[in-house]
A = this chain, B = another copy of it.
Amino acid sequence: MSEGSRPGRVIALCGGVGGAKLAMGLYRILGEKLTIVVNTGDDFEHLGLCVSPDIDTVLYTLSGLANRELGWGRGDETWNFMEAVAVLGAETWFRLGDRDLALHVERTRRLKAGHSLSEIVRDFAKSLGVTAEIVPMSDDPVRTMVVTSEGTLPFQRYFVERRCVPKVERIFFEGAELARPNPALREALADPNLAAIILCPSNPFLSIDPLLSIPGLATLLRQAAVPLVAVSPIIGGKAVKGPTSKIMSELGLAANTQAIADHYAGLLDGLVVDETDRAESASLALPVRVTATLMTSDADRERLARDVLDFASQLAGRRA
């Protein structure tokens, strides 16, 4: 794909907030030619409802409903359910907004009726007017578990209830060994118009590793005939948001682009790094695109998406 030509299909892999921002930029350029494969390792049952935080963040971000201040949930939200359920003594550490509840109640109903998460998410996207293909990484349950100084915690207990305070010792993905990649990913990879695969700037350990833990998924990505490009979530030794740098330090890793490149070694054809990390990136053993990776506006998102697509196109040219 060269600049100015009609872009082909692009597959983006992402988690929640940070990744969804780039997915939004890509969506503004690609529309229905974008396939977003989303982490479901954060999924859990709360108050008896099936919650898929990363999928919902992507749905809300692409439909324009997202709460930009909070980084999760909907912008136009009220909290009367939470208030009433608290009176009944229910757990309130994970907050479900009144409007947001619609996704959880309807998802729970349909999952219990035997529908797959993929079907449900496809219908949700259609109802919310999102034309990109949003694909759960797998329809089989994979659960991100965080081994910490306070014991082993399911992801949301670690992330939301304990606010990432416990020291991370190890992360594993329960159920991953039995999970199968979503067939929609295989189909997208077989699209003759496929142009690029992009790892969004999500937390590599908590948001991208769950996808890569699914047997065969990384191999499928590696075998694709198009460039695979990641955007580093690190800017000047820090993550923009969330616990990436804290976790990297607890895992004995430097929070820098080198560590990100090492983590994805053997998978990537190129890495997009922030201008702040230009000097450091010179020593990386793979092609690098240096650009501004901080996304605060929709214009930022779209500009970064264009840079990433251009970089991938350039790498494809080099390959051919």
A interface, CB within 8 angstroms of B: 47-49, 77-78, 80-81, 83-85, 87-90, 98-103, 105-106, 108-110, 112-113, 123-124, 127-128
Contact = CB atoms under 8 A, between A and B. Distances in A.
Given A48-B112, A99-B84, A105-B48, A127 B78 contact: no
B87 A102 contact: yes
Contact of A89 (B81, B88, B105, B127): B127
25 contacts: A48-B105, A48-B110, A48-B112, A49-B105, A49-B109, A77-B80, A78-B78, A81-B98, A81-B101, A81-B102, A83-B99, A84-B99, A84-B102, A84-B103, A85-B102, A87-B102, A87-B127, A87-B128, A88-B102, A88-B123, A88-B127, A90-B102, A90-B106, A101-B101, A105-B105
Nearest to A103: B88
| Majority secondary structure of chain A interface residues (helix, strand, loop or mixed) | helix
A103 B78 CA distance: 18
A98 B80 contact: yes
A105 B85 contact: yes
A248 B269 CA distance: 78
B85 A106 contact: yes
Contacts of A102: 81, 84-85, 87-88, 90
Contacts of A47: 105-106, 109
Contacts of A89: 123, 127
Count of this chain's copies in the oligomeric assembly = 2
Contact of A98 (B78, B90, B103, B127): B78
Q: Which residue among A49, A103, A106, A128 has the maximum number of chain B CB atoms within 10 Å of its CB? A: A106
A49 B83 CA distance: 19
Contacts of A124: 88
B80 A48 contact: no
Nearest to A127: B88
A247 B220 CA distance: 65
A88 B101 contact: no
A261 B135 CA distance: 63
A96 to B, nearest CB: 9
B78 A109 contact: no
Contacts of A49: 105, 109
A261 to B, nearest CB: 41
